[in-house]
Amino acid sequence: MSRRPDKKQAPAQDQSNTIKDPDEWTTGEEPMTGAQQSYLHTLATEAGEEVEDDLTKAEASKRIDELRQKTGRGES
């Protein structure tokens, strides 16, 4: 009976390069996605704020971050 080698866990990857600033996104100037728009409107309603419907992906991402902090959804 052959023994299988123990599986080693992969080392935790440095995630510092996986989160890009929205201003550096290659698709940042495209219109926001449907998912972004839906989440943005949910957050805006909770925060009692209005949001524009013609934001870019990058603008929507930044606004989502702002509203998550304001509503407390950004906290773990």
pLDDT one-digit tens code per residue, 29-64? 899 999 999 999 999 999 999 999 999 999 999 999
Pair 30, 57: CB distance under 8 Å? yes
pTM for the structure as a whole: 0.69
Q: Looking at residue 17, what is its pLDDT? A: 57
Among 74, 67, 69, 71, which Cα is nearest to 52's?
A: 67
| Residue 2 or residue 48, greater confidence | 48
Pair 58, 29: CB distance under 8 Å? yes
Pair 31, 54: CB distance under 8 Å? yes
State yes or no: pLDDT of 19 exceeds 80: no
**What would you measure as the largest C-alpha separation in the chain, in angstroms?**
67
State yes or no: pLDDT of 76 exceeds 70: no
